[in-house]
Amino acid sequence: MPKQRPDVEEALSWLDQVSQEPDGAKRASLYAMLADRYRVSWQMYGRAIEMYRKSLEAHDNWEDSDEVRMRLAKLLIHLYGRDGFKEAEALKTARISQAIRIEIERKKAAIERHEQKVALERQCPVLKAVVGESQNILEVCQKIIQYAASTRSVLITGDSGTGKEVVARAIAEVSNRMFGFDHRVGHF
C-alpha cells in the first residue's frame, strides 16, 4: 500500500480522535478546528465543509456555533456559487443573518460580472487578453468596443505595467486599424 502524505495521515488521526470525544461541545469545537485546518493549511475545501457540518451536528448551540455557521456559509457561497446560496441561507441565525446576506450579494455581483465579461469576450474574442472581471475592467472592455467603432485617434495613458499596449492592440484588432504604438509618448 502506498504511503500517504504526512498531512493526510495527521488529519485521519485527528478525525479518529475527534469522533471518539464524548463531550458534544468539545467534539464540536474539535471538528471546527479540524475544518479550519483542512480549509487553511491543506486547502481541502470539501473536507472542511464536511467537518463544519459535523461540528454543527455534534453540538449546534455551543458558544462558537455562529462562527462555524458563518465559515461554512462562506465556503458554500464561494465554492458553489448559486448552488450554495440556499444551503448558506439555511444556516442563518439572528446574529449572522445580515453577514450571510452580504456574502451572497457579493458572490451574486461577482457571478454577474463574470457573465458580462464572458458575453463581451464572445462579442470580441480579443478582449480575453484583458485580464480581470472587476467593474473597472468591464468598463475598459466596453470603452475598447466604443473607441474601436470610432475613426478618431485614441490616446491611452497610464502607469507602467497597467496594460496600455494590451488595450491598444485590442482597439486595433476590434476596429481593423493598423496597430501603431508611439513609445515616445509619456517618456521625458
CATH number of the domain that residue 71 is part of: 1.25.40
pLDDT score, position 40: 79
The neighbour count for residue 159, using CB atoms within 10 Å, is 8
Residues 104 and 129 in one domain: no
Residues 130 and 64 in one domain: no
Residues 94 and 131 in one domain: no
- Within a domain: residue 115? no
Q: How far apart are CA 7 and CA 37, in angstroms?
A: 10
Percent of the chain whose predicted confidence (pLDDT) is above 70: 87
pLDDT score, position 188: 33
Most confident of 31-45, 51-65, 106-120, 157-171: 106-120
Residues 101 and 128 in one domain: no
Q: What is residue 60's DSSP assignment?
A: T
pLDDT score, position 179: 59
Residues 17 and 88 in one domain: yes
Q: What is residue 22's DSSP assignment?
A: -
Of 28-32, 112-116, 126-130, 181-185, give the lowest mean pLDDT range. Answer: 181-185
- Within a domain: residue 118? no
Instruction: State the total domains in the chain.
Output: 2
Q: How far apart are CA 59 and CA 21, in angstroms?
A: 12
Residues 28 and 102 in one domain: yes
Res 61 pLDDT > 80? no
- Within a domain: residue 117? no
- Coil vs helix vs strand at 66: helix
Domain that holds residue 163: 124-175
* Contact between 113 and 135 (Cβ < 8 Å): yes
Residues 83 and 171 in one domain: no
Residues 104 and 13 in one domain: yes
- Within a domain: residue 149? yes
Q: Quickly state the pLDDT bin for 5 (edges 50, 70, 90).
A: low
